[in-house]
Amino acid sequence: MALAEYKYKDILHRCFRCGYCKFPTNWIDVNNCPAYARFRMESYSCGGRLWLTRAWLNGEIDWTDHLAQIMYSCTACKNCEEKCPLRFNVDIVDMIRATKSEMVERGLIPSVVKEFLENIQRQGNPYGKARAKRGEWIGGTGIPQYEGQEFLYYVGCVGSYDTRAQETARTLGKVLIKAGLPFGVLGSEENCDGNEVNTLGEETLFEMLAEENIQKFRDLGVTKIVTLSPHSYNTMKNDYPRFDGSFEVRHYTQLLRDLITQGKLNFSGGLNARVTYHDPCFLGRWNGEYDTPRQILNSIPGIELIEMEKNKTGALCCGGGGGNFYTDFLAGSESSPARIRAREAYATGASILAVACPNCMTMLEDAVKAEGLEGELAVKDISEIVAEVCGLA
Amino acid sequence: MDNVKKALAEIVGEDHVSAEPEELYIYSYDLGTTEPHRPDYAVAPRTTEEVQGIVKLANKEKIPVVPLGGGLSLAGLAVPLRGGIALDLKRMDTIIEVNEKARYALVECGVSQAQMCSYLERYHPTLTHSEPGAPGPATIGGNVAIHGQGDLAQPYGFSSDMINGLEIVLPTGEVCRFGSCSISAGWFTLHPLPDLGLFLGWSGTTGIITKVSLRLFPCKRIRGTGQFVVEDEELVPEVMHKLTHTQMAEDIIAYSQAIPPFTSGLHHITINIGGDSEEELEFKQKLLWDDTLGEYIRRGDGGFLGFRRGLDRPVVAKTSDWRKGGGFEYVGAIMPVDTYPECYRRGREISERHDIPYTVLGRCIGMSHAMMFSWTYAFNRADPESIRQAREALHESDDLALELGGTLWKPGLYGQKLVMERMDSNTLELMKKVKQLLDPNGIMNPGNWEVA
Amino acid sequence: MDIVVCIKRIPDTADVVGIDASKKDIEKDSLAFKINDWDDYALEAAVQLKEKQGGSITAVTVGPKEWDDILRRALAMGADKAIRVDQDMVTADCYAVAKVLDALIRDLSYNLVLFGAQSEDFGCSQLGVMVAEMLGIPHAALAVSLQVADGRIHVSRELEAGMLESYTIELPALLTIQTGINRPRYISLGGIKRAMSKELQVMSLSDLGLSLDTLAPMVRLEKLELPPRGKEAELISGSPEETADQLARILQNSGIF
Amino acid sequence: MYELKFDENECLSCVTCDCLTRCQYMDIDKDTAKTEMSKIFNGEDSFVLHDCRTCYACEEYCKMGNHPFYLIVERQEEMDIPPRPRPLIKRSVGIGIPFRGEPEIKEVKEPVLSMGTFAPLTNDLIQGKLFQGVSLISTDPRTMFHFFCQLMYLHDARTSVIKERLPKTIETIARYNVKEVIFFHDECYGTFTSYAPAVGIEVPFKPIHFFEYLYNRLKELRDEIKPLNLKVAYQRPCSSRLSSDKLHLVDDIFNLIGVEHVKREYVGENALCCGGTILGQRKEGSRQLAADVQRRNIEDMINAGAELCVFNCPACWDTLAELVAQRGIRPIYMSDLCRLAIGEKPAGWR
């Protein structure tokens, strides 16, 4: 029986499907599981995924493309773990990841996920673009290659290849230069960090990526890493130590906050704007980091920080996790999570939606366009806001 | 069959109708022990007009329609016994209006209990509704449809006694409105127009509730729960009777359970009270614990376990995880309060016979007018034998409730049969006529309340 | 049902193409490599047949050591055995490669030989049919569907404008597979690792009684160069009648006629 | 079996009869005290047996080495006059029964700290330098009741339950064969140093008071201490009445970490009960008395200018912490206060 090998076979049946996992911490609506918010069918709720896993592994239902799409529409945002009242709640996202890896090992995955994984196997990025082009985002910014400096600035696939995210990568580089931080980037030598590959269930490919990265970092003498993306931050901080790759890993907001407080980054001006901040899941719910980005925004004169109704542990995911920034299973409707989130941001009266993750950036910027709010709500990365007030824009 | 799916998609949009095995699997299950039955379609409408379209289509094609909110009835009421359309109403979740002065909330049927609590706490802190203690996603529409009871049942009765108005889609697709809303814009009262109450307690077999105007009640600044405990079950009815005499409580529940072992054999009576000031709170506490229950405390027959501030709403569905089994189901019956001792003793026997730790609970409705008594049986979803044991225990509890002179609340098929066997024939005949009148094509949740 | 599947390893250019010093090949140092897309479909077709009918699958290729990776992938997909003829024939033509494959397959026991319809790099789409002729077995190219029943195979071939041509062919036979016939499964890295224990046999030309000089190609690659960049382009838009009219005018003024 | 050592001659020759005259909950003069106490040791009924609030204080007031409170509880049981209603007694007697599983006795190196029935607090409280190198026993909530000292049944007139189960608890602890055991809670310490000897139960290990351990550890870390200069009040638990010789450690610790123990009325031997058990007692007016005692206790802290209220007993914490916080005084465990003093940040402390 397939159920026998499933990692969570002993606790899978304990999901009562009571539906708490769909709610934000303040219970205000039933839209906080991104996949359920998009389709509003019980099968797409977290409880639905667990029941369907059990039904599939029990042989009550067969594998179908639709079943795979239901599983892969999970963005690993951990809202379910935040809200499930039962004691196995800390394992839920990993239970769904284990279902995906059952599918991966049988080769039965949606073709867009197959593409995603094969592109990474060959080119080290989900877009399948040439490895040689991974450093092109640097352009003429003078951001140095890594040659043993104190910090490795790890950019990640989205920051390296997605046009909008490349701007963020460049801006952060300029800010770090201005702060006089000794750092360098790997450019075309950089490879995928594997966080999405892990949440997509390709365990062996993830291990290979992690081990190769750790070996490369060790050979280069890397000890401190600052990442552009919370996804890279999460896997390097929580998973790499499993392959004895222990480095001092920070998300860039944590570094900027320190640079600001140490006076290495002082603002030449303020920013008179109402700003609302979107908590990225891999910074917030995965790693409990809610305060640092807010400290940065509050330290900028003129900024009025307004919280969305659903924030911190109750934030609604932008829908880009679990590979969905590429596979787009949640796209195509006004109830796509990114569009719901864009409307929520706009409702606060803010003119800037501050993000701290390249995935959120791409998802929310598209959503703002789709909602026709382009002129009224600007999506800006925190590094871009800091750059602006440091006169670097 | 595909033209039906195409027609449904035209009504609700491509994304909100499915005939895929995955959706049909999920919508075939109740969370309890009821045998699953596959629907042919799962549909999630957003508006009353869409519900009308679906029902009209179902009439044309003679396909069953089975409405559900949270689908948490734990009695299999939303299991599509004869296939057809599983109608998931949770997308209809707009809170249309809260009228502070007349203290009512006009909501779409799919508004969840947790959403209602959170919304009132945030925007109308002086108002509250009778929250049934079910898991958060249970809906307002579903709760009134099954004559549910909440944490204001003691002073104000069933949730279905708290209705100011209803919007119903008839089994033939027309929309009807009942109460003041049928003649004016206000949804402030259900009575006194000619009474057409044909849609509650019917398990969705006579129509679909799409809008509910629900009475709200004053919400005191400080709310909390006090606990009293007795060992002799014979005391429970008289204690409940005396407590209701004070008219100070918001919710009175007596429960007894085998787990944790130190509570086994004891009867815990929880009493919710509220006060805007410390004085009001202390006045009520004195009336309840000292003046009313003081005699029991002095005689040593009953003990005061203290008063804890803050209400834990919605109640966490932890019962399902007691035996790490992921499931429980209960029989709820509306019983005379003085049958509590017998319900408890006989209930314990049933549990012990089926090797299930006993859990019983009696919630007072009105001034000891009646109580909702529930026998709960946890089971292990991965162990068919434990499901079978639970199902047998549930049926024995159905029999017991009727044997002790009670009535069954939201009965599954087994319970419905027992009730109909005992019901006087003229009433039964009238039920049949009403059903035929309203649902000539027999599409509404067929299999339930089917008079032979 | 014993099936032989011939596969090829091609560069994944990812739109980074440069001509190397020899002017006869593209710059390959920084490129990644993969299995030829068509061959992936051929392998999937073989594995699906084996899952239905039972039997064995042998994956075959002609190439240097690095080509083992696509054989490992085939083994992970479901092939039982893999054979590599250790000879780099990238610059050779289809005829020379066909000669090698003919010599190799002739000694194997098979009911069906599958090829990808064409290769992503040169795209000759000749190799399969040449080998069929050399082996003297019936063949069909651009197969888009196949069913096997009592010793014969029902094949539909793809013609232009969506037309299909269907045959029933006696086995043994050779087919070249068109993309879209099925959906090749994903091969996980774990799957490849688990298939490491399967047999991968390496043979030389001499094992087949051949040598490079006896394999003179019929077509020789002279020179490889990038197409010159066009000076300017004009986009004509409007209804078919309008665009036809504008095009006609441009052609007349260009003095071609 | 396990007779209470009680010498009535000591009472007869006692001049002050402090045990009853200083009782905070009954107004008794010397003569009444003499007659009531003789009724009690003669096994006759006395109003004292009915009105006693089980606050343990008379154990401390008696300077003659007798055990007035233990005697009162024995008589209450013999004459079936329990202070609390029977369902509450049945419930608390049931709580002491280990729910599932045997304790896993593993090799431990001294110093050894037993968490008793407060295993769930281990992760939050037992952290940082103060506890480096300490081996912990009874940290598993499922089996912690094997280490339960049972003394709480003094509130329920059930010395029979204590005498029945305490030997098994001592035997479980003894199986670790360590010479000295630090006990997190005063009640454990009081059981092994006061109650067990009083009824002739042998204790094969040396109990160490938790504050003694904290005080010595703080002295070792003296150079890391930064004076907190905070004003604190101490909520003295009832069981600390059984170890009044250790009460000085409270002020020793406060002085060492630079906090001022505010001068207030209900301190030391005048400390007030937290009201947790009084609340449910059978005697008329118990609920209001508990509320009144709590109010007086907290207002006393406020008037004395206390910023923090220091606890060591989790039962006192559950009863008073929130009430204290509502009146603007921050509740903190003694061990957490000590961690603050050496620059550590206790769980949940802002």
pLDDT one-digit tens code per residue, D86-120 = 999 999 999 999 888 899 899 999 999 999 999 99
Searching chain B, which residue's CA lies closest to the CA of residue A87? B321
Geometric angle at alpha carbon A373, from A367 and A374, rounded to 5°: 85
C145 pLDDT exceeds 50? yes
B316 pLDDT exceeds 70? no
Q: Which CATH class is domain A112-132+143-259?
A: alpha beta
CA B224 to chain centre: 23
Query: Comparing C-alpha atoms, which of A143, A141, A135 is closest to residue A190?
Result: A135
Give pLDDT tens digits for A72-122.
999 999 999 999 988 889 999 999 999 999 999 999 999 999 999 999 999
Beta carbons of A237 and A202 less than 8 angstroms apart: no
pLDDT value at residue A3: 73
Domain check: are B184 and B100 in the same one? yes
CATH 3.40.50.1860 fits D222-341, yes or no: yes
Query: Comparing C-alpha atoms, which of B105, B364, B304, B361 is closest to residue B219?
Result: B105
Confidence category of residue C16, pLDDT binned at 50, 70, 90: confident
Nearest by CB: A130 against C16, C33, C186 = C16
Residue A385 half-sphere exposure toward CB, CA atoms < 13 A: 32
**Which residues in chain A have Cβ-Cβ distances shorter than 8 Å to B112?**
30
Give pLDDT tens digits for B138-193.
999 999 999 999 999 999 999 999 999 999 999 999 999 999 999 999 999 999 99
Is residue B104 within a helix (H) or strand (E), and if so which, with residue range? strand B104-108
Beta carbons of C93 and C220 less than 8 angstroms apart: yes
C236 pLDDT exceeds 90? no
Give pLDDT tens digits for A165-198.
999 999 999 999 999 999 999 999 999 999 999 9
CATH of the domain at B172: 3.30.465.10
Domain boundaries, chain D: 8-78, 86-212, 222-341
B1 pLDDT exceeds 60? no
C213 pLDDT exceeds 90? no
Please check whether residue B211 lies inside any domain of the structure.
Answer: yes
Contact yes or no for B31 and A17 at CB 8 A: yes
B36-46 mean pLDDT: 97
Number of structural domains in chain B: 4
pLDDT value at residue C228: 82
Domain check: are B75 and B168 in the same one? no
Domain limits for position B45: 2-88
Q: Of B250, B284, B309, which residue constitutes the final position of a domain?
A: B309
Show which residues on chain D lie within 8 Å of chain B, measured between beta carbons: 82, 84-88, 90-95, 97, 99, 279-280, 282-288, 291, 322
pLDDT value at residue A1: 45
Please check whether residue B446 lies inside any domain of the structure.
Answer: no
CATH of the domain at B407: 3.40.462.10
B438 pLDDT exceeds 60? yes
**Which residues in chain A have Cβ-Cβ distances shorter than 8 Å to C191?**
105, 107
A303 pLDDT exceeds 80? yes
Architecture (CATH level 2) of domain D86-212: 3-Layer(aba) Sandwich (3.40)
Nearest by CB: A105 against C31, C34, C188 = C188
Please check whether residue B435 lies inside any domain of the structure.
Answer: no
Residue type at position A374: E
Confidence category of residue C29, pLDDT binned at 50, 70, 90: confident
A342-362 mean pLDDT: 97
A2 pLDDT exceeds 70? no
How close is the nearest chain B Cα to the Cα of A350, in Å? 21
Average pLDDT over chain B, rounded to an integer: 95
| CB atoms inside a 10 Å sphere around CB D314 | 19
pLDDT value at residue C30: 80
**Which residues in chain C have Cβ-Cβ distances shorter than 8 Å to A109?**
186
Question: What CATH fold (topology level) applies to the domain A268-389?
Answer: Rossmann fold (3.40.50)
Please check whether residue B39 lies inside any domain of the structure.
Answer: yes
pTM of the model: 0.91
Chains D and B touch (3+ CB pairs under 8 A): yes
Query: Comparing C-alpha atoms, which of B396, B305, B413 is closest to residue B347?
Result: B396
pLDDT value at residue B186: 93
Say how many CB pairs under 8 Å bridge A and C.
Answer: 58
Domain boundaries, chain A: 2-109, 112-132+143-259, 268-389
Euclidean distance between CA atoms D314 and A65, whole angstroms: 55
Domain check: are B195 and B234 in the same one? no
Tokens (6 digits) for B382: 């991965």
Please check whether residue B445 lies inside any domain of the structure.
Answer: no
Please check whether residue B253 lies inside any domain of the structure.
Answer: yes
**Which residues in chain A have Cβ-Cβ distances shorter than 8 Å to C187?**
107
Lowest mean pLDDT among A196-210, B269-283, C84-98: C84-98
**Phi, psi (deg, nearest 5) at residue C174:** -125, 135
Please check whether residue B210 lies inside any domain of the structure.
Answer: yes
B106 pLDDT exceeds 80? yes
Reported ipTM: 0.89
Give pLDDT tens digits for B364-399.
999 999 999 999 999 998 899 999 999 999 999 999
Q: Of B185, B218, B251, which residue constitutes the final position of a domain?
A: B218
Please check whether residue B441 lies inside any domain of the structure.
Answer: no
Chains D and C touch (3+ CB pairs under 8 A): no
Residues 6 or more apart whose Cβ sits within 8 Å of residue B206: B171, B198, B199, B434, B435, B438, B439, B444
Interface membership of C193 toward A (CB under 8 Å): yes
Domains of chain C: residue spans and CATH? 2-215 (3.40.50.620)
pLDDT value at residue B434: 96
Searching chain A, which residue's CA lies closest to the CA of residue B328? A16
A225 pLDDT exceeds 60? yes
Contact yes or no for B91 and A55 at CB 8 A: no
Tokens (6 digits) for C193: 């690792």
Query: Comparing C-alpha atoms, which of D107, D126, D105, D106 is closest to residue D115?
Result: D126
Chain A contact partners (≥3 CB pairs within 8 A): B, C
Interface membership of A26 toward C (CB under 8 Å): no
C119 pLDDT exceeds 50? yes
Q: Do domains D86-212 and D222-341 have the same CATH topology?
A: yes
A287-314 mean pLDDT: 96
Mutant choice from C188, C192, C193, C194 vs A, greatest count of A C-beta within 10 A:
C188
Please state whether beta strands C164-170 and C152-158 pair in parallel, antiparallel, or not at all (unpaired). Answer: antiparallel
Give pLDDT tens digits for C32-81.
999 999 999 999 999 999 999 999 999 999 999 999 999 999 999 999 99
Contact yes or no for B289 and D287 at CB 8 A: yes
Domain check: are B147 and B103 in the same one? yes
Nearest by CB: B90 against A30, A51, A66 = A30
Confidence category of residue A393, pLDDT binned at 50, 70, 90: low
Domain check: are B40 and B74 in the same one? yes
- B241: exposed, middle or buried (Cβ count in 10 Å: 0-12, 13-18, 19+): middle
Residues 6 or more apart whose Cβ sits within 8 Å of residue A384: A167, A168, A171, A393
A55 pLDDT exceeds 90? yes
Domain check: are B261 and B179 in the same one? no
- C249: exposed, middle or buried (Cβ count in 10 Å: 0-12, 13-18, 19+): exposed
**Which residues in chain D have Cβ-Cβ distances shorter than 8 Å to B302?**
85, 87
Domain check: are B326 and B372 in the same one? yes
B436 pLDDT exceeds 70? yes
Contact yes or no for B22 and A52 at CB 8 A: yes
